Amino acid sequence: MTASRLLSRWGLLVVFVLVFGGFSAWLPSKFPTSGNVQDILTSQPPGIFMAFAAMIVLVVAEFDLSLGATLGMSQYLVLKLITHYGLSWQTAILATLGVGIAIGVANALLVVGLGINSFIATIGVATILEGLVQWISSGSEPIYGGTPAGFTTLAQTKHLVVLPVYYALFTAVVLWVLLEFTVLGRQMRATGANRGAARLSGIHTGRARSTAFVLAGLLAAVGGILVTAQVGAADATSGPSFLLPAYAAAFLGATAIRTGFFNVWGTVIAIFLVAVGITGLQLKGVESWVTPVFNGSVLLLAVTVSNVAATQRVLGRARNAMPPLRRREQPQPTAGPPPAETA
């Protein structure tokens, strides 16, 4: 493997190490501490699940802009079911996961079944969800207290042992196996690469796209449940803030490990790279407006690099497919009688 291929594959991890090392040298008493590392690990699992949700839909060349609203609905609904309707926290979690799956099914019906553009369909679903959250929250009224101890234990953090991180790593392995080693995963990648060619080859592209939307709804619901378990409260307005960082991580992750392809491990590295950058800037005392500017800049940079990588990959395939140029052969004299001698 050439140095350029190694750099393109592992460059994002190198950048992560450099950024972490840079902030550690810049803020030696604040950044490289066990407390700060624990804070970074604790805060990221909901964002990781959201990034996985964005990534799985991007794999099939679609967008789901309802993910933030799905997380917001889930993180409020799970606590509402516990505190106001007396459900056990286990039943409330199952019901909330069911709602996440139902949202994914609704998106699949609109995009795959009715043929509506995924941007339009999922924006419409997100708007409906925001209205429903306002309804069940009586005008965005937060819920404080009443969280069962067993529920908050799901997000327990102690001495760098952060349970949600283990959930995220387990989910990462499952998604990696799904996308790289199963027939369904290969069909999803083929659908995203060229839907028409995949359909002609016999792949059920509608099923692949529907699976992606349903998984995205489920993953976003898990992220919402983790948010509530971590803080022990529910805020009806916090969901949309998770959407942009999720897509930034998914696009940035496509520049590493499997360059030009949305992949699990690149997404994990990207989410922690963004988290380290934001945490370092916050510890340095930057203004609050820097965070959204940083997230937006990362998204634009990631999309740009991803597009360049995809273009280079297409050009490389085109060059490999071209037949080699042959040296033009000189015409050979035809056989015939020798020329007559002149006097």
Q: Does the structure show a pLDDT above 60 at 329?
A: no
Which pLDDT score, from 0 to 100, does residue 129 have? 95
Which pLDDT score, from 0 to 100, does residue 188 have? 96
| 260 found inside a domain | yes
| 96 found inside a domain | yes
The domain in which residue 210 lies consists of 27-313
Q: Does the structure show a pLDDT above 80 at 85?
A: yes
**Mean confidence (pLDDT) of the chain:** 86
Mean pLDDT calculated for residue range 146-173: 84
Q: What is the pLDDT of residues 273-304, one digit of tens each?
A: 888 988 888 888 877 777 778 777 877 776 77
Q: Does the structure show a pLDDT above 80 at 170?
A: yes
| 325 found inside a domain | no
Separation CA 45–CA 245 (nearest Å): 13
Residue 303 amino acid letter: V
Mean pLDDT calculated for residue range 227-234: 89
Q: What single string gives the DSSP state of each residue in 59-117? A: HTT---TTHHHHHHHHHHHHHHHHHTT---HHHHHHHHHHHHHHHHHHHHIIIIIS---
Separation CA 228–CA 224 (nearest Å): 7
Which pLDDT score, from 0 to 100, does residue 343 have? 43
Which pLDDT score, from 0 to 100, does residue 176 have? 96
Q: Which of 45-54, 92-101, 160-169 has the lowest mean pLDDT?
A: 160-169
Q: Does the structure show a pLDDT above 70 at 341?
A: no
Instruction: Indicate the number of domains in the chain.
Output: 1
Which pLDDT score, from 0 to 100, does residue 142 have? 85
Q: What is the CATH number of the domain that holds 198?
A: 1.10.3470
> pLDDT band for position 16 (50/70/90)?
confident
Q: Does the structure show a pLDDT above 90 at 61?
A: yes
| 330 found inside a domain | no
| 18 found inside a domain | no
Q: What single string gives the DSSP state of each residue in 145-183? A: S---HHHHHTT-EETTEEHHHHHHHHHHHHHHHHHHHSH
Contacts of 157 (CB under 8 A, 6+ apart): 38, 41, 42, 163
CB atoms within 10 A of CB 331: 6
> pLDDT band for position 332 (50/70/90)?
low
Q: Does the structure show a pLDDT above 80 at 74?
A: yes
| 326 found inside a domain | no
Contacts of 317 (CB under 8 A, 6+ apart): none
Residue 125 amino acid letter: V
Contact predicate 47/242, CB 8 Å: yes
| 336 found inside a domain | no
| 19 found inside a domain | no
Q: Which two tokens stand for residue 43?
A: 């805060």
